[in-house]
A and B are shown apart, each in its own frame.
Chain A
Amino acid sequence: MSLVNITGLHKHYGPNHVLKGVDLTVRQGDVVTLIGRSGSGKSTLLRTINGLESFDQGSITLAGQTIGSRDAKALQQLRLQVGMVFQQFNLFPHLTVGENIMMSPRVVKGESPHILREEAHALLAKVGLADKFDAWPDQLSGGQQQRVAIARALAMKPQVLLCDEITSALDPELVNEVLAVVRQLAQEGMTLIMVTHEMRFARDVSNHVVFMHQGKIHEAGHPADLFSRPQTPELQNFVSAVM
């Protein structure tokens, strides 16, 4: 069944029309990758899904619930279901790794510290950082920080995880350790919507690839078809440029 349903989404930045009627359906367990040139609206689309960006027209529903674009309470509800990992990690520098992971469930959901601690340890083990519970973010490499950021997002038990170029700020040798975690999440059935420039990874992991061009979904489909038989000249150009 469909988990995220986006229809007729429009978004302007001043005179700049950046999303021009986007329709996208994401089912439970889907791994959707957004690709496209810089400025095509990938990040903007991703960020409307958890309300970091408002939109002007159209609708987004999550698990059947319609998300108004400005109601604070609805946003809150939405964000409880949707996690996000950012390019720049954005760990909280004044909290230890463990605290980074436990803070939101404690503050937002009021879960008990005892349970949270266990869950945080389990999440850290899952992302391969079992021994870093008491470390500070700035003591970690970029790849480690990003894995903590993933664990932090998972601690809220989201239904969907958004990832916006989460390996773009990493040194090349650190990219794989982060991708491995995402791959594992995908295999476990986590619903993922991601923007990435790692085309090979996108082809391996996703079951739906969306090519964005000038604020619209220009072409979409299963990665096997999309990458080997691109239909439009824009996607053909893009694919030959990046692969």
Chain B
Amino acid sequence: MSYQFDFLAVAREAPELAAGLARTVELTAVACIAGLLIGIVGAVCRAWQLRPFNTLFAVYVEMFRNTPFLVQLFFLFFGLPTLGIDIAPDSAAMLAMVINLGAYAVEIIRSGIEATPKGQIEAAQALALKRWQIFLHVVLRPALLRVWPAMTSQVVIVMLGSAVCAQISTEELSYAASLIQSRNFRAFETYFVTAGLYLALALLLRQTLLRGGGRLLKRGRP
């Protein structure tokens, strides 16, 4: 093998990589927050069987958990314009990620809500709290704490999955990588470094979410 590795060729493209990384982080952050909100609202509708929303959310969840992310993305970006709804690559990517994560979040958070011990609800009822007050003050935080590791894993999965958004030319990390290797013809080095960046980001994201989320949800409880 006479191939001469040249990682400098990738290093020179650091600004490009950094910009891609930033876009990936940005997409993930929005997906995480919006997905969590969708998850909470959807989980309540499902757990309380609020008609007709429980059925709507059930359909939504099944639709998006049982189709490939890439197809969801293409549908939004290439399909919607057919209906006269034009959508920019970045918006399509963001929307796809939010919707995808939201679908998983509904089910994850619902399982946390449904694991609430009956005694907690009864104690709150006996204290004259109304149903939504019980949800807000008694059920929600312990439920999120219970499922936070699962939620964190799902956010990481969605972050990694965002790589396919390059297919609709969202300029995130894998888009930057493909651009760089088409310029310097250093596919090995470029994707090696890119993989390393994804790995680091995934580990960092997982730790940050687990620690930060845990701390936020526990508020100093040992």
Contacts and interface: CB of A to CB of B under 8 A. Distances in A.
Q: Is B truly associated with A?
A: yes
Contacts of A80: 128
A59 interface: no
Contact of B120 (A76, A90, A156): A90
Secondary structure type dominating chain B contacts: helix
Interface stretch (B27-35, B95-103, B137-145, B205-213): B137-145
B52 interface: no
B119 A88 contact: yes
Contacts, number: 66
A133 interface: no
Interface of B: 117, 119-120, 122-130, 133, 137-138, 141-142, 145, 217-219, 221-222
A241 interface: no
A153 B120 contact: no
Interface stretch (A100-108, A176-184, A188-196, A220-228): A100-108
**Chain A contact residues, majority secondary structure:** mixed
Interface residues of A, number: 27
A190 to B, nearest CB: 16
A238 interface: no
Given A86-B123, A94-B142, A136 B129 contact: no
Interface string A50-64: 111000000000000
A76 B128 contact: yes
A79 B127 contact: yes
Interface of A: 50-52, 76, 79-80, 82-84, 86, 88, 90-94, 103-104, 107-108, 136, 138-139, 149, 152-153, 156
A153 B117 CA distance: 19
Contacts of B137: 103, 107
A82 B120 CA distance: 17
Contact of B125 (A52, A94, A152): A52
Given A84-B123, A94-B141, A104-B124, 5 more contacts: A79-B125, A86-B126, A90-B119, A107-B129, A149-B123
Given A104-B129, A156-B127, A94 B221 contact: yes
Contacts of A92: 120, 123-124, 138
Contacts of A91: 123
B116 to A, nearest CB: 11
B126 A84 contact: yes
Contact of A52 (B120, B122, B138, B141): B122
B40 to A, nearest CB: 16
Nearest to B130: A76
A145 B170 CA distance: 55
Contacts of B141: 94
A136 B222 contact: yes
Contacts of A50: 126
B122 A108 contact: no
Nearest to B219: A94
Given A136-B221, A153-B127, A156-B127, A90 B133 contact: no
